[in-house]
Structure formats: structure tokens, C-alpha cells
Amino acid sequence: MLDANTEQEKITEFWKTKYETETQKNWDLFYKRNTVNFYKDRHYLDKEFQEIKYVPKDSKERKVFLEIGCGVGNALFPLLETNPNLYFYGIDFSHKQYDEAHVKTLQCDIVECKEMPVQKIDFAMMLFVLSSIHPTHYVNVLAKILKAMNDNSYLFIRDYGRYDMAQLRFNADSKLSDHFYVRNDGTRAYYFTIEEMKSFIDNSVQCINDEISKQSSSPKSSFVKIEFVENYYCKKIVQNRKTQVQMHRIWVQTKIKKTLVDQNPNNISQDS
Ligand SMILES: C[S@@+](CC[C@H](N)C(=O)[O-])C[C@H]1O[C@@H](n2cnc3c(N)ncnc32)[C@H](O)[C@@H]1O
């Protein structure tokens, strides 16, 4: 397939470093320009992430939901309305902060932080966030999130898929590295295959388990096991109402379940 990815990137190392170091500034400017009006409220999430509909054991039980890279709350606030049993946290390095009865948002850079500022998470969600980060950080970021998740918890990811219409529109002047581009406003976007997404997650689990293996006094049931509940391309043709132009959108949708087990699953799969 012919696209900007087949061409040699033209962006110099100086600019690549500048986009990396100024990523927070560029998202701040993005939200300053677009305020809350850029992304539409995401009302499809209850249907896609049905695991969050749980029956609490008693009236006091409230499971923890964390959205990583929550922006201005286009996902968080619709979910808040339909899920009163959950306590919602949102983190992002660039946004207005809320602290209300059922929701608290925190400022955090998920690449730089040592550990997630919210722990004991039952449901975690990342929508179009990993793609805005440099691919060399994915394993580390995913490991921090998975570590902070409870036994029997779920992580839901939706992000840009390989050869999405927006990827095909970039030219070689916007290419930072394979399948990774910079937009005119300095924000960046990576376009995933489902195999890559699986491999980033598998590698992050391996890192966590290797670390636990090295600790001499690791508690029982502390190794991480994951199950891929979903990992597929979500494809949709969206028609622009004004121009009637059809846009072929491709997203990767991944849902994993984390459980805690006694034995290192990495060793089990190697032995068998
Ligand atoms: C494409 S927007 C998606 C926003 C929101 N998830 C949605 O779908 O409406 C990416 C978001 O990730 C945030 N983000 C990017 N890199 C981040 C980082 N290193 N730490 C925390 N947030 C980050 C940006 O500030 C931005 O709000």
C-alpha cells in the first residue's frame, strides 16, 4: 500500500526531540484552542465495556474506574451518568481538574510518573492515548497501569488502527518514524496493528512478572496473568454531512482481564 510510511522521514532529530519534550505543552495548547468542543461525548462505551455493569455486594461497595488520558471528560462524564455504583478517577497531564462526589481528576504524566497515582483499579480505560505517546514508552506505561490494577480487573483500550484514513492523509513531512506522525499542532499519533498491541501488553506483563520473580519475598498470588477478551479492528465508514465524502476509519479495540496467580505464567508457557 502506498502511503507516507513507505517514504523516508524528513523530520530532523532536533524536531523529533522537541516534539517529545514539548508534548505536554502541545496538548495544553490543543485544549486552549479547542476547549471542550473537539471530541464528541463517547456514548458507545457502556455497550463496548459491559463488564463495568456489575451488581455491588452491598450499598457501600463502589468499584474504582480510572480513565488514563481523560482529556476534558468526553468519556468519563457520560459513563458517570449511567454507572452510579462506580467511583471515577481521570488522569491527564493537560486539563481542568474536578473533585466531586463520584469523580476526581488528577494531573499526571503517565510516561514520567514512577507509579500510577491511583491504585487498586477495577476498570481502566485508555482512549486514543497510547497513540499520542512515543512507542518506546508503551511497555513501561502499560506495566505501570497493569501493576495498579486489582485481581479480576479489566483494561479497555481503543486507539488508531493501521491504515486508518487519517494515517493515509499524512505526507512524508509529518513522519517521525514507522507509523508515527506529527500533526500540524505538534500532537502525535501512532497507528497500531492488533498484533503490536498484543505484543506491547504481553511484554509489559513479562516485565512485571520478571520483577516479581527477582523479589525474594514476593507474596503469594502476586504474578500477573492476562486474558485477551477482545483484540480486533473496528472499522467504520463515516460520511461527512457537508461534503458527502466517505472516511474509512480503523480503530484497534482491545480488552484484557487481569488476574493474580501463584506461579509466574511466563515460566509455565516456556516449560510446556
Ligand atoms: C487524543 S486525546 C484523547 C482524549 C480522550 N481520551 C478522548 O478520547 O476524548 C489524548 C489525550 O492524552 C493525553 N496525554 C498524552 N500524553 C500523556 C501523558 N504522557 N500523560 C498523561 N496524559 C497524556 C493528552 O493530554 C490528551 O488529553
How far is ligand 1, taken at its centre, from the CA of residue 70, in Å? 6
Q: What is the pLDDT of residues 69-93, one digit of tens each?
A: 999 888 998 998 899 889 999 999 8
| Predicted pLDDT at 7 | 67
pTM of the model as a whole? 0.92
Residue 2 lies in a domain: no
**Which grid cell sits at 49?**
465495556
Determine the residue of 91, 109, 126, 129 to mutate for testing ligand 1's pocket, defined as the one with the most ligand atoms within 8 A of the Cβ atom. 129
Domain count along the chain? 1
Contact status, residue 41 vs residue 73, Cβ threshold 8 Å: no
**Quick one: which H or E segment has residue 96?**
none
Range of the domain at 106: 7-271
Q: Is residue 45 part of a domain?
A: yes
Whole-number pLDDT of residue 101: 76
- Alpha helix (H) ranges present in the chain? 13-21, 23-34, 45-48, 76-82, 138-147, 165-169, 194-214, 265-271
In a domain, residue 257? The reply is yes
Residue nearest to atom 22 of ligand 1 (CA): 92
Would residue 1 count as lying in a domain?
A: no
Q: Is the CB of 109 under 6 A from ligand 1?
A: yes
CATH number at residue 160: 3.40.50.150
Residue 104 located in a structural domain: yes
* CB proximity list for 28: less than 8 A, separation 6 or greater: 94
Task: Look at residue 51 and tell me if it is in a domain.
Answer: yes
> For position 271, what pLDDT does the model report?
46
For every one of its 272 residues, what pLDDT tens digit does the chain have, with 9 covering 90 and above? 545 566 677 899 999 999 999 999 999 898 888 866 667 778 889 899 999 988 778 877 889 999 999 998 889 989 988 998 899 999 998 766 776 778 899 999 999 999 999 999 999 999 999 999 999 999 999 999 999 999 999 999 999 999 999 999 999 899 999 999 999 999 999 999 999 999 999 999 999 999 998 886 766 778 999 999 999 999 999 888 888 888 899 999 999 999 999 888 877 654 44
Note whether residue 176 is domain-resident: yes
Amino acid 92: pLDDT: 94
Q: Whose CA is nearest to atom 27 of ligand 1?
A: 71
Instruction: Determine whether the shortest distance from the Cβ of 129 to ligand 1 is under 6 A.
Output: yes
Is the CB–ligand 1 distance for residue 110 below 6 Å? yes
- For ligand 1, whether the C-beta of 185 sits within 6 Å is no
Position 263 scores a pLDDT of 87
> Rounded distance, CA 200 to CA 140, Å?
9
Query: In this structure, how many other beta carbons lie within 10 angstroms of the beta carbon of residue 96?
Result: 13
Answer whether residue 170 is part of any domain.
Answer: yes
